[in-house]
Amino acid sequence: MKTENIRTRFAPSPTGFMHIGNLRTALYTYIIAKKYGGKFILRIEDTDQGRFVEGATDVIYNTLKACGLEWDEGPDIGGPVGPYIQSERMGIFKEYAEKLVETGHAYYCFCTKERMEQVHAEQQAKGITPTYDRHCRDLPKEEVEKLLAAGTPYVIRQKVPLDGTTTFHDELYGDITVPNADLDDQILLKADGMPTYNFANVVDDHLMGITHVIRGNEYLSSTPKYNLLYEAFGWEIPTYIHVERIMRDAGHKLSKRDGDAYFGDFVEKGYYIPAILNYIALLGWAPKGENEIFTLDELIDEFDIGGLSKSPAIFDPVKMKAINGEWLRKISHEEFKAAALPYIRQTCKREDINIDELVKTLQPRTELLTEIPEKVDFIDELPEYENDLFFNKKMKTTPETALSALTAAVPVLENIPESDWTEEKIHEAVFAEIEKLGVKNGWMLLPMRAALSGKALTPGGGIELAAILGKTDSISRIKKAIEKLS
């Protein structure tokens, strides 16, 4: 693969939210550009106005920026080969389509919609895949001029060779040869003057100097027609890299109906954005070593086209959640605090608690950020609970033993000065009491946790919860538990 003066492009259509398949394409496109010191270009392909969704362009911008995929040229920042929004380049496409007509590589087609529907119906009745029957391909020049002069609506179609083959090279799949007889005379310019996607992206890729085209392998079947267009214009053909699909399972693609189709779905479910990007990179690409946790910069260093798979990538929600948990554990305290705080504040509004202790307790125990609100909802208000919360078969605790443990804990905690109320000092005092009483750790710690939280599952043990809640509230909650157990 050529690695000099690389220019890649991500060219999404503004038709809604960012599907993870599109985001993965953007990621690979960005990585390949940055790995070799090239340029990453953002182009908005909005020629299909029927599918345009208001606000979708901002979704594209915001998603890429949130993931750190900053573009070097694009609609909002400009560049030497703009405009970077396809609908603003309309005059360009008609000019190039007419050039192909002049050189005999395209032709005017005057077939009406009604005629095409009839042709397709007849083809389907015969078991033939509907395609254009080339009715206008060889119209005499005089007839074409007469129809144009009369203002007859037309499209411009590509004039594909009727015999021979077309071969293109893909970095992943190698050389692929297709009989020209299998290719249809695709529309290049529609009746309304708008270019089709297949034509516009070839023209724009050339004019913008795109050297490497990374896209989904659903475009493999169209690539021979792209190559014929490049050859017709006498343009250099870019390097192609067609990546495999992302599947929910062996027989089904990811879809919104099944959940987890869009980037925003994962963010809403509490995934950390760098972890989302990390997992998406692994969908169809395998690093050389055992490590699978990568920052964006590390992905750029590690990425190798040879690691791309020719088989569909199966989305594994269990693995993604595990990777997210690893990310949340590996980031700094401050990074986790920034990510976790909005979730903490959904159920915990108190300002007098030790937020840093809470964050420290949550970080090693959180896989999804959306788990946090339920984990900390006991802080503002102790829930109602039953005495059987203090039963634990493994620890051999009962409401009776819990009463003894909590009664012993109160004076120990009261003797810790307010200024020394830290996890370390609480641990030191409580464990000294445990040793003095000659009991197992859980005999005292489990009742403390239950009394402080009113829950069986918490983000930390009794000592950690005491450090978070503060001295006054901790002792007050334990005394309430003693009253309830008495």
Confirm whether pTM is higher than 0.85: yes
SS3 25: helix
Cα of first residue to Cα of last residue in the chain, in angstroms, is 77
Give the confidence band of 258 by pLDDT, cuts at 50, 70, 90. Answer: low
Number of domains in the chain: 2
Give the confidence band of 256 by pLDDT, cuts at 50, 70, 90. Answer: low
Active site residues: 256
The overall longest dimension of the chain from CA atoms, in Å, is 109
Q: What is the mean pLDDT of residues 375-403?
A: 93
Question: Over pLDDT 70: what percentage of the chain?
Answer: 99
Which of 330, 354, 385 marks a domain boundary? 330
Contact call for residues 483 and 428 (beta carbons, < 8 A): no
- DSSP string over 79-139: -TT---BGGGGHHHHHHHHHHHHHTTSEEEE---HHHHHHHHHHHHHTTPPP----TTTT-
Above 70 in pLDDT, residue 209? yes
Q: 317 preceded by cis ω (within 30°)?
A: no
Closest CA to 133 of 180, 191, 184: 184
Q: What is the pLDDT of residues 462-472, one digit of tens each?
A: 999 999 999 99
Q: What is the mean pLDDT of residues 333-340?
A: 98
Q: What is the mean pLDDT of residues 332-352?
A: 97
- Mean confidence (pLDDT) of the chain: 95
Above 90 in pLDDT, residue 116? yes
Q: Name the DSSP letter for residue 255.
A: -
CATH of the domain at 342: 1.10.10.350
- What one-letter code names the amino acid at 457? L
Q: Name the DSSP letter for residue 212.
A: E
Give the confidence band of 168 by pLDDT, cuts at 50, 70, 90. Answer: very high
Domain presence at residue 235: yes
Domain presence at residue 98: no
Q: What is the pLDDT of residue 248?
A: 87
Give the confidence band of 172 by pLDDT, cuts at 50, 70, 90. Answer: very high
Contact call for residues 455 and 383 (beta carbons, < 8 A): yes
**How many residues make up the chain in this entry?**
486
Answer yes or no: do 409 and 485 share one domain: yes
**How buried is residue 434: exposed, middle or buried, by Cβ count under 10 Å (0-12/13-18/19+)?**
buried
Above 80 in pLDDT, residue 229? yes
Answer yes or no: do 466 and 320 share one domain: no
Answer yes or no: do 216 and 275 share one domain: yes
Which of 330, 354, 377 marks a domain boundary? 330
SS3 19: strand
SS3 446: helix
Q: Which residues, at least 6 apart from 293, have a Cβ–Cβ distance to it below 8 Å? A: 278, 323, 326, 327, 330
Answer yes or no: do 69 and 217 share one domain: yes
Q: What is the pLDDT of residues 404-414, one digit of tens each?
A: 999 999 999 99
Q: What is the pLDDT of residue 257?
A: 61
**Residue indicated by tokens 């694009």:** 74
Pairing of strands 155-158, 187-189: antiparallel
Q: What is the mean pLDDT of residues 209-213?
A: 98
Q: What is the pLDDT of residue 69?
A: 98
Collect contacts of 215-220 with beta carbons under 8 A, ≥24 apart: 215/25, 215/241, 215/242, 215/243, 216/21, 216/25, 216/242, 216/243, 216/244, 216/245, 217/173, 217/242, 217/243, 217/244, 217/245, 218/245, 220/170, 220/173, 220/176
Answer yes or no: do 432 and 305 share one domain: no
Above 80 in pLDDT, residue 48? no
Tokens of 126: 């015969």
Distance CA 216, CA 241 (A): 8
Answer yes or no: do 389 and 270 share one domain: no
| Structural domain containing residue 305 | 1-75+201-330
Q: What is the mean pLDDT of residues 324-335?
A: 98
- DSSP string over 187-206: EEE-TTSPBPHHHHHHHHHH
Contact call for residues 452 and 465 (beta carbons, < 8 A): yes
Answer yes or no: do 404 and 255 share one domain: no
Q: What is the pLDDT of residue 17?
A: 86
Answer yes or no: do 373 and 292 share one domain: no
Above 80 in pLDDT, residue 50? no
Give the confidence band of 260 by pLDDT, cuts at 50, 70, 90. Answer: low
Distance CA 165, CA 169 (A): 13
Answer yes or no: do 344 and 453 share one domain: yes
Domain presence at residue 148: no
Q: What is the mean pLDDT of residues 436-457?
A: 95
Domain presence at residue 122: no
Q: CB 421: neighbour CB atoms within 10 A?
A: 18
Least confident of 15-19, 293-297, 312-316, 334-338: 15-19
Most confident of 10-14, 331-335, 395-399: 331-335
Distance CA 69, CA 63 (A): 9
Answer yes or no: do 317 and 349 share one domain: no
Domain presence at residue 442: yes
CATH of the domain at 61: 3.40.50.620
Contact call for residues 156 and 101 (beta carbons, < 8 A): yes
Q: What is the pLDDT of residues 151-162, one digit of tens each?
A: 999 999 999 999
Tokens of 271: 């995934």
Tokens of 225: 């027609």
Which of 330, 355, 370 marks a domain boundary? 330
Answer yes or no: do 71 and 58 share one domain: yes
Q: What is the pLDDT of residue 12?
A: 94
Q: What is the pLDDT of residue 476?
A: 97
Question: Over pLDDT 90: what percentage of the chain?
Answer: 90
Domain presence at residue 270: yes
Domain presence at residue 395: yes
Contact call for residues 314 and 249 (beta carbons, < 8 A): yes
Answer yes or no: do 308 and 350 share one domain: no
Q: Name the DSSP letter for residue 420.
A: G
Q: CB 188: neighbour CB atoms within 10 A?
A: 30
Domain presence at residue 486: yes
Closest CA to 323 of 358, 264, 281: 281
Q: What is the pLDDT of residues 60-110, one digit of tens each?
A: 999 999 999 999 999 999 999 999 999 899 889 999 999 999 999 999 999
Q: What is the pLDDT of residues 354-377, one digit of tens each?
A: 999 999 999 999 999 999 999 999
**How buried is residue 28: exposed, middle or buried, by Cβ count under 10 Å (0-12/13-18/19+)?**
buried
